[in-house]
């Protein structure tokens, strides 16, 4: 692994000094802070006079406030961080002609791609943890509730999942920067993929579900048809990493949520029976519920990196 | 013609009546003279006599008897009384309504009543007693006496003096019930009296008397002579008394007289069934579609045998709750039986806490248990997932080694 450390350090220097990163980071931090501030204010108003409910601190991340919650915001715009960090990492070197110079240095060839990816991951970790810490600090000041140990753990796991999620997009963008020689093409390709997974998957899912189980005036009354419709829609939308991320983080960060399904068929006695003890899930149970989502997210991140690794290693780089 | 005959008859009757009337008025002075001659013969004459010369009383009773005093002569007389013979153990006096008297003034031809009253001492034995009363005029020339005979009998007919009857002397029910007997008390004596109500209850039982249709407890009752009243006897048995027959003697007494009766309560036993878990823990953890097991016990806490205990459950739809055994035919008093409960959540139950109600039911008693069933997510996927991640990482390192160009 000789050389990886050097590459990582150099890359980090590049990242933190580049204007586009500073602008993006500033933008995201600002939006997060504004969101949290609004949520905190509305929480403080809503909870005034109420005996302490459980997991208030986590509500700082999940409650939507006037716009959207922090979790939703990261799910939507987090990928942009990854994309911006990676979309020109290899092909810029190539077009500047620095890649062959780099490869002639006494470092292994894979140290280049590993170092670039690792530097991106480190940047993401620093960024996400600083955002979460600032938001938590702001929350402490705003609502004055100290998080319990379980809440801290949930936030930590949320951080890990978020890092993997953004790293996935980093991997995608590095892959595209390896595959496409032109910077503009890779930028457009990554952007297109992001738009596709963020916007079109959910639309496409309902189109597919409507094709198989049409929901109209008559079948709306039939719970089984509605359930089947919801099932197909969910299965299709799970293709999107954003859906995976949304499902897993919403369970992790909100202990009262018990399933990732949005529609549940439930008899009246079952409903009553569940309401009898409406206890929030413990952390282990929450994790167990969404472990498939988390695992998939981690696995596709690794696979995505592995593909870019293979493609880069097999590529001819000295000739140019 | 007919009218003429009727007229003649009426005239005949009238004339006859006139003749009789004239004859009578002519002869009456002659009769009066004869009476005056008799009066002159008896210038002074007195007599006394008991109204009832022979009396039967029961022991302890005192008597009051009128004495007729007659002045048969023409002169007014002062009559002095002496009781010349008083048997030992008695006190006697002559009185009027309000005071004792020694003498009586009585005008000629008049008669008056005075009262003779006698009172036995407490230890006076039954037997025959004679009282003699002498009456004398003030100058001692005339006297009269009369004897009163009293036969004192042993008390016998006391029981008959109060009558105690009940229409429903036997009641049955469980030991947590209240029993209300209705008693009729009749005062057959000839005087108004207060009657005490007494009951002898088994230990820890409570017996109360109350008037019918009134909600207060009484311990005595006032009855006029020959009056009868209905009272209720409320019997509250011991909560823990066993099944069986219990006799509750009740008595009504006034002074020496007393009436007794027996009330009978048949306790048929209570039916109480209790269910619980040996540890008191009413929660259970299981997974979706997996059977969780818990043991519960069923105990007969009543005082009678319980037959046919069944088990029911209130559970979410698509869940399965099975009992082993499904039914208990007989449960003796105090007996404990263990029942295995198998709860299977539905395959797509949500993770979290569900309430499952268990109902232990027999014909006469039932008990409820509420279980908290925690459905956990299956951890199998977690291990599979971690396996996948490890495989991916191994693959990645494989790539590093094979493609690393070292």
The CATH number of the domain holding residue B102 is 2.60.40.10
| Residue A252 phi, psi (nearest 5) | -65, -40
* B40 is a domain residue: no
Mutate to test the interface with A, among B290, B313, B392 (most CBs of A within 10 A): B392
Nearest CA in chain B to A306: B396
Task: Say if residue B121 is in the same domain as residue B51.
Answer: yes
Could you tell me the residue range of the domain that residue B168 belongs to? 159-267
> What is the structure's pLDDT at A245?
93
> What is the structure's pLDDT at A187?
92
* B131 is a domain residue: yes
* B129 is a domain residue: yes
> What is the structure's pLDDT at B391?
92
Mean pLDDT, chain A, integer? 85
Task: Say if residue B187 is in the same domain as residue B233.
Answer: yes
Q: Complex ipTM above 0.85?
A: no
> What is the structure's pLDDT at B406?
62
DSSP B61: -
* B210 is a domain residue: yes
Of residues A240, A246, A127, the one with CA closest to residue A194: A240
| Residue B54 phi, psi (nearest 5) | -130, 130
* B5 is a domain residue: no
* B200 is a domain residue: yes
Bridge pairing between strands B244-254 and B220-223: unpaired
Mutate to test the interface with B, among A274, A283, A308, A310 (most CBs of B within 10 A): A274
Task: Say if residue B374 is in the same domain as residue B356.
Answer: yes
B316/A267 CB distance under 8 A: yes
Instruction: Give how far A255 is from chain B: nearest CA, Å.
Output: 10
Separation of alpha carbons B111 and B193, rounded Å: 37
> What is the structure's pLDDT at A161?
94
* B39 is a domain residue: no
A272/B400 CB distance under 8 A: no
Helix (H, G, I), strand (E, B) or coil at B391: helix
> What is the structure's pLDDT at B23?
54
Listed by start position, the domains of chain A span: 4-314
Chain B residues inside the 8 Å CB shell of A270:
316-319, 349, 354
Residue B177 CB contacts under 8 Å (≥ 6 apart), including other chains: B237
- Count of domains for chain B: 3
Q: Of B119, B153, B187, at which residue does a domain stop?
A: B153
Separation of alpha carbons B101 and B93, rounded Å: 8
Does B316 touch chain A if contact means CB atoms closer than 8 Å? Answer: yes
Half-sphere exposure of A213 (CA within 13 A, CB side): 17
Mutate to test the interface with A, among B287, B350, B396, B401 (most CBs of A within 10 A): B350
Helix (H, G, I), strand (E, B) or coil at B384: helix
Task: Say if residue B144 is in the same domain as residue B164.
Answer: no
Which residue matches tokens 């597919």?
A208
Instruction: Give how far B359 is from chain A: nearest CA, Å.
Output: 15
Threshold 0.95, pTM exceeds: no
> What is the structure's pLDDT at B31?
47
Of residues B201, B208, B216, B371, the one with CA closest to residue B295: B371
Quote the radius of gyration of chain B (alpha carbons, Å).
51
| Residue A11 phi, psi (nearest 5) | -65, -40
Q: Pick the most confident of A171-180, A211-220, B167-176, B350-359.
A: A171-180
Positive/negative CA dihedral, B277, B283, B285, B289: positive
Chain B residues inside the 8 Å CB shell of A314:
403
> What is the structure's pLDDT at B30?
47
In this predicted structure, the answer to whether residue A149 has a pLDDT above a threshold of 80 is yes
B385/A258 CB distance under 8 A: no
Task: Say if residue B198 is in the same domain as residue B238.
Answer: yes
> What is the structure's pLDDT at A286?
87
Chain A residues inside the 8 Å CB shell of B377:
285, 288-289, 291
Does B347 touch chain A if contact means CB atoms closer than 8 Å? Answer: no
Chain B residues inside the 8 Å CB shell of A309:
396, 399-400, 403
In this predicted structure, the answer to whether residue A89 has a pLDDT above a threshold of 80 is yes
Find the CB nearest A273 among B355, B376, B403: B355
Structure tokens at B132: 């003699």
* B14 is a domain residue: no
Does B344 touch chain A if contact means CB atoms closer than 8 Å? Answer: no
Q: Give the neighbor-by-neighbor strand order of the sheet with B273-276.
A: B273-276, B292-300, B336-344, B320-324
Quote the radius of gyration of chain A (alpha carbons, Å).
22
Mean pLDDT of A287-303: 90
Does B394 touch chain A if contact means CB atoms closer than 8 Å? Answer: no
Find the CB nearest A291 among B352, B356, B382: B382
Mean pLDDT of A197-219: 85
Task: Say if residue B320 is in the same domain as residue B246.
Answer: no
Kindly write down the DSSP assignment for every residue of chain A, as one continuous string: -TTHHHHHHHHHHHHHH-HHHHHHHHHHHHHHHHHHHHHHHHHHHHHTTS---TTHHHHHHH--TTS--HHHHHHHHHHHHHHHHHTTHHHHHHHHTHHHHHHHSSS-SHHHHHHHHHHHHHHHHHHHHHHHHHHHHHHHHHH--PPPHHHHHHHHHHHHHHHHHHHHHHHHHHHHHHH-SSHHHHHHHHHHHHHIIIIIHHHHHHHHHHHHS---TTGGG-HHHHHHHHHHHHHHHTTSHHHHHHHHHHHHH-TT---S-S-----HHHHHHHHHT-PPPPHHHHHHHHHHHHHHHHHHHHHHHHHHHHHHHHS--S--
CB B363 within 8 A of CB B329: no
CB A15 within 8 A of CB A129: no
CB A166 within 8 A of CB A122: no
Does B372 touch chain A if contact means CB atoms closer than 8 Å? Answer: yes
pLDDT band at A193 (very low <50, low <70, confident <90, very high): very high
Instruction: Give how far B405 is from chain A: nearest CA, Å.
Output: 7
Residues in chain B with pLDDT values less than 50: 1, 29-35, 158-159
Find the CB nearest B352 among A272, A274, A295: A274
Mean pLDDT of A70-91: 87
Structure tokens at B73: 């002569």
């Amino acid at each position: 692994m000789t050389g990886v450390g050097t590459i990582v350090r150099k890359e980090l220097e590049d990242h933190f000094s580049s204007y586009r990163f500073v602008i993006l980071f500033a933008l995201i931090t600002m939006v997060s802070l504004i969101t949290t501030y609004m949520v905190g204010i509305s929480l403080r108003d809503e909870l005034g006079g109420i005996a302490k409910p459980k997991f208030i601190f986590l509500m700082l991340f999940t409650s939507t406030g006037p716009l959207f919650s922090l979790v939703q915001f990261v799910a939507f715009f987090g990928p942009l961080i990854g994309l911006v960090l990676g979309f020109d990492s290899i092909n810029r070197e190539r077009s500047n002609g620095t890649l062959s110079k780099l490869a002639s240095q006494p470092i292994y060839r894979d140290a280049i791609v590993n170092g670039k990816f690792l530097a991106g991951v480190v940047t993401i970790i620093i960024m996400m943890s600083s955002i979460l810490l600032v938001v938590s600090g702001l929350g402490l000041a705003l609502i004055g509730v100290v998080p319990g140990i379980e809440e801290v753990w949930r936030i930590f796991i949320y951080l890990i999942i978020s890092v993997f999620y953004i790293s996935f997009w980093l991997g995608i963008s590095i892959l595209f920067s390896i595959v496409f020689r032109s910077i503009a093409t890779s930028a457009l390709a990554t952007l297109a993929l992001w738009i596709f997974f963020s916007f079109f998957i959910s639309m496409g899912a309902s189109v597919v579900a409507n094709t198989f189980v049409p929901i109209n005036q008559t079948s709306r009354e039939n719970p089984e048809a509605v359930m089947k419709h919801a099932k197909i829609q969910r299965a299709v939308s799970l293709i999107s990493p954003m859906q995976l991320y949304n499902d897993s983080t919403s369970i992790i960060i909100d202990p009262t949520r018990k399933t990732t399904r949005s529609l549940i068929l439930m008899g009246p006695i079952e409903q009553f029976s569940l309401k009898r003890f409406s206890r929030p899930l413990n952390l282990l149970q929450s994790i167990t519920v969404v472990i498939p989502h988390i695992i998939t997210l981690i696995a596709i991140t690794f696979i995505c990196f592995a593909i870019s690794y293979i493609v880069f290693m097999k590529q001819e780089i000295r000739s140019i | 013609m007919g009218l003429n005959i009727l007229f003649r008859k009426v005239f005949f009757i009238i004339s006859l009546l006139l003749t009789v009337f004239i004859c009578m008025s002519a002869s009456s002075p002659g009769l009066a003279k004869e009476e005056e001659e008799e009066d002159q013969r008896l210038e002074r004459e007195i007599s006394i006599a008991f109204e009832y010369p022979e009396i039967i009383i029961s022991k302890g009773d005192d008597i009051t008897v009128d004495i007729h005093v007659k002045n048969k002569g023409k002169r007014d007389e002062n009559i002095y009384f002496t009781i010349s013979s008083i048997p030992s153990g008695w006190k006697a006096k002559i009185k009027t309504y309000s005071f004792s008297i020694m003498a009586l003034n009585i005008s000629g031809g008049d008669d008056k009543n005075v009262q003779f009253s006698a009172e036995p001492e407490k230890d006076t034995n039954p037997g025959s007693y004679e009282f003699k009363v002498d009456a004398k005029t003030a100058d001692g020339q005339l006297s009269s006496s009369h004897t009163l005979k009293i036969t004192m009998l042993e008390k016998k007919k006391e029981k008959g003096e109060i009558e105690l009857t009940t229409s429903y002397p036997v009641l049955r029910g469980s030991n947590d019930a209240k029993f209300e007997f209705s008693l009729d008390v009749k005062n057959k004596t000839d005087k108004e009296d207060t009657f005490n109500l007494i009951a002898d209850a088994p230990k820890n039982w409570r017996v109360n008397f109350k008037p019918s249709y009134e909600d207060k407890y009484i311990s005595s009752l006032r009855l006029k002579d020959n009056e009868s009243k209905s009272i209720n006897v409320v019997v509250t048995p011991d909560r823990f008394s066993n099944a069986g027959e219990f006799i509750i003697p009740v008595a009504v007494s006034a002074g020496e007289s007393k009436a007794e009766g027996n009330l009978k309560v048949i306790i048929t036993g209570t039916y109480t069934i209790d269910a619980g878990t040996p540890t008191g823990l009413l929660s259970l953890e299981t997974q979706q579609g997996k059977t969780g097991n818990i043991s519960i016990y069923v105990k007969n806490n009543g005082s009678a045998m319980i037959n046919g205990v069944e088990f029911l459950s209130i559970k979410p739809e698509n869940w399965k709750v099975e009992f082993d055994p499904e039914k208990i035919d007989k449960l003796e008093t105090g007996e404990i039986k263990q029942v295995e409960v198998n709860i299977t959540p539905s395959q797509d139950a949500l993770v979290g806490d569900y309430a499952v109600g268990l109902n232990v039911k027999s014909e006469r008693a039932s008990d409820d248990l509420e279980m908290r069933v925690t459905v956990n997510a299956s951890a199998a996927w977690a291990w599979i997932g971690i396996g996948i991640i490890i495989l991916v990482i191994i693959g990645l390192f494989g790539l590093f080694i094979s493609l690393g160009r070292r």
